[in-house]
Amino acid sequence: MKWNAPSCVRRLALLSTGLAIACTAPSPPTATAPNRPDPAPEAAVPASPPSESPAMAIMPPEPSPNPASMAQPEVQLVPVMAGLERPWGMAWLPDGSMLITERAGRLRQVQNGQLLPTPIAGVPPVFAQGQGGLLDIALHPRFAENQWVYFTYAAGNAQANRTRVARARFDGDALQDWQDIFEVSQAKAGGQHFGARLLWLPDETLLVSIGDGGNPPVRLAGQLIRLQAQNLDSALGKVLRLNADGSIPDDNPVFDRQPSQRLPVWSYGHRNIQGLAYDPLRDRVWATEHGARGGDELNLVQPGENYGWPVVSHSREYATGQPVAPAQSQPGAVDPLMVWTPAIAPSGLAVYSGEVFPAWRGHLFAGGLVSRSVLRLEATEQGATVSEIIAVGQRVRDVRQGPDGLIYILTDEVNGRLLRLEPR
């Protein structure tokens, strides 16, 4: 089956308001309806210090306006361990232990809640400057059979670097047979916007988010590099779909504007997606995406679609405060379901499908680097609302549901922590 990109994408004019939440978080950035004008500027979210108590209480949300909604659980945020240096992604092994990437280029293992002192051998050198380094991690769906672990990382130097996708076999002690299965063909300068989340789909194809390459003044081929997000001859600013060996699936989208070379493009017009999650209850792919100066987005990512960046956006330029794009909406580009201004800097996204918190099944949990929180969202293809703000007190890099049905959080700090949401 071929995916055919429509010439004109149906636009969504969706209301995305936030509920007032009683919790320990600072006042959240405003979640706006995509077609409304930007709200008045607000003060940046303060950087509150992390709690030193063994369990940080989270106040329950105010009652939902939906009278049919279930009673919300009382939960607490419990530290599992600390001592991680700028952790980025996490995955669980069949025995219940965890693998966690550190941006500096180390792969760490956690067993029984304890961080093993020696990093796992076999990771090649990475470009660990700016936002680059060893980034996401995902186990092959049949890891127990093949031992393949997948990674994204930044390779190169400050003058010429790119995002790569790799895999290696983990034998329980070290990585073996490291293979780079995809790389962005265009080298870029600087240390910004690599992406780079990994997500397995039920058909065992792999989605990979690739950033647009960076903010002005970074340029490529004589123009601002961010314009590559609209170039189907470039992997920059895209979500890619790969087979497990890095080849291109036969049923990837076919676009009206055929590129000169075939790339594994699934969707395009993205700035920098760092939250990517599959919804097994509704068979959907959700993404949270960084805006520039505000304009962070929640999107329902579908094959063949254009998400507009940078010709359509709610973002503003860092240097001038002027709008990045001439329009916030236009035919042929998909509107976000939610827009955050000021930015929460979204990173890490999970769709809850476990049994521990039945009232949360189908809810999204979005991490925020600037907001230092996790937002619980209720989202459909008609819109989204923020139903709860869970204060963390540190930059949240990743959010995942564990095999035990609990929610795990990684914080992006020099002394980064692994936290867990548990019933009170």
Residue 10 forms part of a structural domain: yes
Structural domains in the chain (count): 1
Say if 399 falls within a structural domain.
Answer: yes
Q: What is the pLDDT of residues 108-123, one digit of tens each?
A: 999 999 999 999 999 9
Band of residue 261 on the pLDDT scale cut at 50, 70, 90: confident
Query: From CA 176, how far away is CA 123, in angstroms rounded?
Result: 9
* The pLDDT of residue 372 is above 60: yes
> At a CB cut-off of 8 Å and minimum separation 6, what does 396 contact?
347, 348, 367, 368, 369, 371, 372, 373, 374, 409, 410, 411, 412
- Residue 176 within any structural domain of the chain: yes
Phi/psi for 340 (5° steps) reads -110, 120
Strands (E), 222-319: 223-224, 238-242, 253-254, 265-268, 273-279, 284-289, 296-300
CA distance 61 to 75: 11
Kindly report, residue by residue over 167-212, the tens digit of the pLDDT.
Answer: 999 999 999 999 999 999 999 999 999 999 999 999 999 999 999 9
Q: Within a domain: residue 133?
A: yes
User: What is the structure's pLDDT at 31?
Assistant: 61
At 133, is the secondary structure helix, strand, or coil?
coil
Choosing from 193, 270, 290, 314, the catalytic residue is 193
Residue 199 lies in domain: 3-38+46-318+331-423
* 271 assigned to some structural domain: yes
Do residues 211 and 226 make contact, with C-beta atoms less than 8 angstroms apart? Answer: no
Q: Give me the residue label for tokens 């047979």.
A: 177
The answer to the question of residue 326 being in a domain is no
* Residue 143 DSSP class: H
Average pLDDT over residues 296-302: 98
Where are the extended beta strands (E) located within 301-424?
A: 338-341, 346-351, 364-368, 373-380, 383-391, 396-401, 407-411, 416-423
Cβ 411 vs Cβ 419: under 8 Å: yes
CA 333 from centre of chain: 20
SS3 313: coil
Does residue 343 sit within a domain? yes
Give CA–CA dist 280/199, Å, rounded: 12
The answer to whether position 218 is within a domain reads yes
pTM for this prediction: 0.86
**Token pair 């979204």 is at which residue?**
346
* CATH code assigned at 143: 2.120.10.30
- Which residues lie below 8 Å from residue 344, measured CB to CB, with a gap of 6+? 28, 29, 45, 296, 366, 368, 369, 370, 371, 373, 375
User: What are the tens digits of pLDDT across the range 233-255?
Assistant: 999 999 999 999 999 999 999 99
Q: How far apart are CA 108 and CA 117, in angstroms?
A: 8
Asked whether the beta carbons of 192 and 211 are under 8 A apart, the reply is: yes
Region of poorest pLDDT, from 53-57, 96-100, 275-279, 301-305: 53-57
CB 242 within 8 A of CB 218: no
Return mean pLDDT, the chain.
Answer: 87
- Active-site residue flag, 193: yes
